[in-house]
Structure 1
Amino acid sequence: MTLSASAESFDADVAIVGAGPVGTLLAILLGQRGKRVTLIERWSQHYALPRAVTYDHEIARIFATLGIDSENDPAISYHDELYYWKNKDRENLQIVDWQSQSASGWRVRYWFNQPMMEKRLLAIAATLPNITLLRGWQGIGLEQDAQGVNLSLQRNPEEAGPNGDSRTLRAKFVAGTDGANSFVREALGIENEDKGYFFDWLILDMIPHFDYVASRGDEPAQWQLCDPKRPTTIVPGGPGPVAGGPARRRWEFMVLPGENPHELQKPDRAWELLQPWGLTPENAELERSAVYRFQARWAKEWNKGRCLIGGDAAHLMPPFAGEGMCAGVRDAVAMAWRLNGILEGKFGLDVLDSYTSERIEHAKHYINFSQELGQIICIADEAAAAERDAKMIAGLAASAGKPVPTDICQLGKGAWCDESAHAGELSVQGVVEAAGKQGRFDQVVGQGWVLLGHGVDPAAALTEAQRHQLAALEGVSVELSAQAATGGAVDVEGTIGDWFTRIGARYVLIRPDFYVALTADTPEALQTRFAKVMRRLHLAEQPAMAAE
């Protein structure tokens, strides 16, 4: 089932402006479902310098659905180590748990090189014949009506090729993943909510010609130096350019009051800052030197009619929590399952409204958290830093040096049942065995709408009409057990079963983005909450149900 307008009247089901990791992932998730996608990128050549360098367990879980194994991929690295914040005397102020395996079944933190990851994603997209990549084009006009969007493009005059070339694409939907200065956001007239947070930092991406971490003795692999003379971030930068060779490293230096950012990013000045860290032009390569302005802002709307925005077009956050690109990847997945559902005739257009309501609150959580971290780090006053140090050292001692765990963030209100305990949170993943296969749940059972029952058949607890609805969503029902059971899945390590016990549930409905749509402890509660979720999806065809 498709939208009423004929496919012949459209150039694409979805036109995506911006072919960074967010836009390319969105294209893949749509293309894998057979949608016709035009991916538009302003630059004719792939940008080869680093930007984002880290992602969390949730992103590893998403990448795993594409066949990217963050544990065993030469283009991805990790460190079995905590994340330390230290003062100028190298005393611990705070310790963050970046070492444990997360509830998602993946490590809390991974490190990568963005150009390498982008090439990986673009290679996957190239295997899908229904994805068209247009390089060297930029959006200059956008008009939408009830059936679709007319997107006007022009050849980028800064690129090689005939200047002034233009064309218009007709698409059923347009997604803007085109960065902080988003054309799509501006064309839609969407305003930003700005927290007025501005700090300039010098980013230095380095390729040491030696094993930097091993050379530094007891220095952590990933840490913050909270020295008021020059707040500094020292973290991995992902694998190096030679497989098995020295890894990349990143230094971030705060631009101090009165300093000239342009002068600070010149190579000679960069090498001066790196000298205390043992890096010189003789033993390392300066891959990139650039001053970035760390900001905290988000768009007030993320969808308007048949247009959506995501990634930096929708939000900017300081990098101190390592969640900037992560938020964009979540945006791509959230857009994809909704757009796929609409284009396949499953959902009504109104389901896009829950994209804004869910994602904006989720991103705001990380923006606020990142800003709070920045307020601790970006202290250039000696007295204020000494006051901070005393308070944080006392707090760390009171907790007996216990690392701060990664937090659980709930989606904003949307296509999930807010009467269910722990709904709107990321689901737990463990190792299971089913149909003769053993591995992480997502790789064994699959991704999509999954109704889980803990020791019970969840499908039997639904009404007949609801079983039809689950089938219409291409959803599956799985009975989870501690021992082998016909047609079910064995909870090999007990991880998922422990989660059910902890949240007091017997039934859990998981969405395609791995977030929990509902939890229930009785068949009656399951039926009531399932009905509410289906309504919030704006199903194109719904059997008669009792009013909420």
Structure 2
Amino acid sequence: MATTVSNMTSSDHHADVVILGAGPVGLTIANYLGQCGVDVLVIEKLDQLIDYPRAIGIDDESLRVLQSVGLIDKVLPHTTPNHWMRFLTPKGRCFASIEPKTDEFGWARRNAFIQPQVDRVLFEGLQRFDNVRVLFSREVTDFSQEPSGVVLHMKKGDAPVETVRSRYLVACDGGNSFVRRTLDVPFDGKTAPNQWIVIDIANDPLGTPNIYMCCDPVRPYVSAALPHGIRRFEFMVMPGETEAELSKPENMRKLLAKVLPNPDRVELIRQRVYTHNARLAGRFRVDNILLAGDAAHIMPVWQGQGYNSGIRDANNLAWKLAMVVKGLADPSLLDTYELERRDHARAMIDLSVTAGHVLAPPKRWMGTVRDGISWLLNYVPPVKRYFLEMRFKPMPQYTRGALVAAEPALKRSPVGRMFIQPKVLTEDGRKVLLDDAIGNRFAVIAWGTDPTWGLSAEQVATWKALGACFIQALPSVQLDAGTVAPDGVIRIGDADGRLKEWFGNHPASVVILRPDRFVAALAIPQTLGAVCGQLGKVLGARGSAAGGRVSTVGEAA
């Protein structure tokens, strides 16, 4: 396969999609589009991937996305599953512990990781694709939009200006996004009054697992065990302190003396001062330009959701871009990206700000109240479970967008929520995670029945033209009944009974999944044709029906 890193001397470049920024969000989108055969150009201002300390928490949703781009086996060795978070009082009492042990999406809900190592996996994953190129050391100087797409100009040092033409530009260029600022998109929110210094140490001098949020009223700090024997400490920077002062050996020793008996005996990797912001872009799309990751929203680190929110953006946007670029959907589908992602990004910002106030209350008396209330609530089982199981985390749920909304009377509808990922049995006897049986595509999954029964022949053809698969889910023992699956239908066995439980909890026996694993619609066999028709109109989707005529997905024969 062709190498993804390019030193092309031509002054002109062309791509279907240009991604500005080789961070985790841009690299994830590039990997997904690469799998779909979309021509992608990634432009990075720096001369290499960033290697300084950044995110340390990756959740189950993000791992599922990395699974979808075929890189999960290379990522997992750089993670620590079931990485609990514990809040401690100044005297060391644990007043709240976050220990979610469910795995409804196929992976542990909280995991430690070291971001540069996973970014490297994502970057190297691009080498699989001839249709993806990466250009380092390029600074975009200006851009403009035309009816056919976006034109950019960029420079590499003293070399001649290079011109790039693309249909779409995805700006993943960080919280200080050049693209967002040039478009004059508001970035409203607040900047925290205190900075924090992050210190990474090799050969962990503590060795204890998990992450501890130490609510010291004098100087709050965080102590986190990371993979490969690395320990991270984060200390609040007090008024009047500077990064230069704190980085002096004698001051670094004073900080570490709070947490280590021998602060001189450490192997320092690096330290860096961060400012915590909570900001949200006023728009995520301006014609053929889309904002993603930190360019669209930034948040404090306290729930580890900045990185994960960016990966959610990638998961939501990439499949829509692929459909539009390949002519399978109307460009209006891209409007659903902001419609679906913006409110949830705001919810995660609010959660992160709240967690920061728990760690470091704005007023000292608030910490005393916090400690007293938490001591009492620890003895109330429902409250304790609420924290242990991480029920406070707002899960993405889309009520508008690329979906067919459930009836208003149906409370807690799964439509717009991520579908579960249990283990399933394939017909050849393999036990795999559900997504590995589906692939990156739409899926019509029916419990016990033929998933094509309620569709016309033309509907089946048009959904197949979109790459959709039809799946019949059965109790595993029924795979050995000797019956033959309907033509074009994949049969899977419900290995652990979780699919049966899911369908049993909802008034529907057929679920339509989007490529990002969110539930697009529910039906029963007798209503499936009508529901698919509605979904096709919402998507503005098109596919080649039998006989070559182009028809709207869901159109009756």
Instruction: Tell me if both proteins adopt one fold, taking TM over 0.5 as the criterion.
Output: yes
Structure-to-structure mapping, 1:242-257, within 5 angstroms = 247-257=229-239
Aligned length: 517
How has the CA–CA distance of structure 1 residues 458 and 544 changed in structure 2, closer, same or farther, with 3 Å as cutoff?
Answer: closer
Choose the corresponding residue for 1:167, options 145, 162, 177: 162
The alignment status of 1:441 with 2:429, answered yes or no, reads no
Give 1:271's match in structure 2, choosing from 253, 260, 279.
253
Contact 2:35 2:69 in 1 (8 A): no
Is the aligned partner of 1:469 residue 2:462? Answer: yes
The amino acid that maps onto 2:111 is: Y
Q: 439-448 vs 250-259, which deviates more?
A: 250-259
Separation in 2 of the partners of 1:265 and 1:380?
26
Cα separation, partners in 2 of 1:125 and 1:266, compared to 1, 3 Å? farther
Amino acid at match of 2:148: Q
Does residue 1:236 correspond to 2:239, yes or no? no
Answer yes or no: is 1:532 the counterpart of 2:538.
no
Q: How many Å apart are 1:16 and its aligned residue?
A: 0.9
For 2:498, the equivalent position in structure 1 comes to 495
Cα shift at 1:343:
1.4
* Partner SS, residue 402 of structure 2: coil
Structure-2 separation of matches of 1:59 and 1:37 = 22
Q: How far apart, in 2, do the equivalents of 1:512 and 1:199 lie?
A: 41
CA root-mean-square deviation: 2.4
Structure 1 residues 391 and 68: alpha-carbon distance in aligned structure 2, compared to 1, 3 A threshold: same
Gaps of 5+ in 2: 1-11, 408-412, 486-490, 543-549
**For residues 377 and 260 of structure 1, do their structure 2 counterparts lie closer, same or farther at Cα, with a shift above 3 Å needed?**
same
Q: CA deviation at 1:263?
A: 2.5
> Which AA in structure 2 matches 1:435?
E
The equivalent residue for 2:516 is: 513
Which stretch shifts more, 344-353 or 201-210? 201-210
In structure 2, the partner of 1:347 is 329
Q: 1:412 to 1:201 in 2, by over 3 A?
A: farther
Output aligned runs, 1:190-201, within 5 Å: 190-195=185-190, 197-201=192-196
CA separation in 1, counterparts of 2:389 and 2:77? Answer: 29
1:27 partner SS: helix
Query: Are residues 1:226 and 2:210 paired?
Result: no
SS of aligned partner of 1:129: coil
1:281 Cα offset (Å):
6.3
Give the superposition deviation at 1:196: 5.5
Q: What displacement does 1:198 show?
A: 4.6
DSSP-derived class of the 2:77 partner: coil
Q: Could you tell me how far 1:25 is from its partner in structure 2?
A: 1.4
For residues 502 and 377 of structure 1, do their structure 2 counterparts lie closer, same or farther at Cα, with a shift above 3 Å needed?
same
1:181 to 176, 181, 186: 176
- 1:213 paired residue number: 207
One of 298, 322, 342 as aligned partner of 2:304: 322
* Residue 301 (structure 1) aligned with residue 283 (structure 2): yes
Q: 1:450 aligns with which of 443, 457, 462?
A: 443
**Which letter maps to 1:224?**
M
Work out the CA distance in 1 between the residues paired with 2:161 and 2:13: 18
CA distance in 1, matches of 2:261, 2:143: 49
Take 1:192 and 1:310, find their aligned partners in 2: how far apart are those partners?
Answer: 13
Structure 2: which amino acid aligns with 1:423? Answer: V
Alpha-carbon displacement from aligned partner over 1:412-443 (angstroms, at most 9, x marks no partner):
52101222621111110100011312211111
- Taking the aligned partners of 2:237 and 2:264, their CA distance within structure 1 comes to 26
CA displacement 1:311-356 (0-9 Å, x = unmatched): 1111101111111111111212222111110111100111110011
Residue 501 of structure 2 aligns with an amino acid whose one-letter code is D
Alignment partners' CA distance in 2, 1:312 and 1:119: 19
- Equivalents in 2 of 1:412, 1:376: separation in Å? 31
Instruction: Identify the residue that residue 6 of structure 2 maps to in structure 1.
Output: none
Find the aligned partners of 2:179 and 2:75 in 1 and give their Cα distance.
37
Q: Distance in 2 between matches of 1:87 and 1:416?
A: 45
1:290 match: 272
- The separation in 1 between residues aligned to 2:336 and 2:372, in whole angstroms, is 44
1:379 aligns with 2:361: yes
For 2:405 and 2:247, locate their aligned partners in 1 and report how far apart those are by CA, in whole Å.
Answer: 48
Q: Secondary structure at the match of 1:333?
A: helix
Letter in 1 for 2:405: D
Q: Is the 8 A contact 1:27 1:39 kept in 2?
A: yes
Task: Verify the 8 A CA contact 2:197 2:235 in the aligned structure 1.
Answer: yes
Match of 2:65 in 1: 62
5 Å-filtered alignment, 1:396-411, equals 396-399=378-381, 401-402=384-385, 403-406=388-391, 407=393, 408-411=395-398
CA contact (8 A) 2:303 2:355 kept: yes
Aligned twin of 1:3:
none
CA distance 1:381–1:365, change in 2 (3 Å) = closer
Q: Report the more deviating stretch, 353-362 or 180-189.
A: 180-189
C-alpha distance 524-371 of structure 1, shift in aligned 2 (>3 A): farther
What is the deviation of 1:202? 1.5
Report the alpha carbon displacement of residue 14 of structure 1 after superposing the two structures with TM.
0.9
Q: Distance in 2 between matches of 1:491 and 1:178?
A: 42
Residue 6 (structure 1) aligns with: none
Structure 1 consecutive aligned stretches of length 4 or more whose deviation exceeds 6 Å: 544-547
Could you say what secondary structure the match of 1:23 adopts? helix
> For residue 83 of structure 1, what is the aligned residue in structure 2?
85
Counterpart of 1:273, as a letter, is L
| Counterpart residue number, 1:119 | 120
1:166-194 deviation per Cα after TM superposition (whole angstroms, max 9, x unaligned): 21101111111111111121222211131
* Counterparts of 1:279 and 1:467, CA distance in 2: 68
Amino acid at match of 1:179: G
Q: Structure 1 residues 31 and 84 mapped into 2: Cα distance closer, same or farther (>3 Å)?
A: same
**Whole-Å separation in 1 of the counterparts to 2:263 and 2:405:** 56
Q: Is the 8 A contact 1:87 1:227 kept in 2?
A: yes
TM-score, structure 1 normalization: 0.88
Q: Percent identity over the alignment?
A: 28
Aligned-partner SS, 1:461? coil
CA contact (8 A) 2:253 2:264 kept: no
Corresponding residue for 1:5? none
CA pair 376-15 structure 1, distance change in 2 beyond 3 A:
same
Verify: 1:50 aligned to 2:60, yes or no: no
The match for 2:405 among 399, 418, 421 is 418
Asked whether the 8 Å contact 1:267–1:289 carries over to 2, the reply is: no
Contact 1:451 1:458 in 2 (8 A): yes
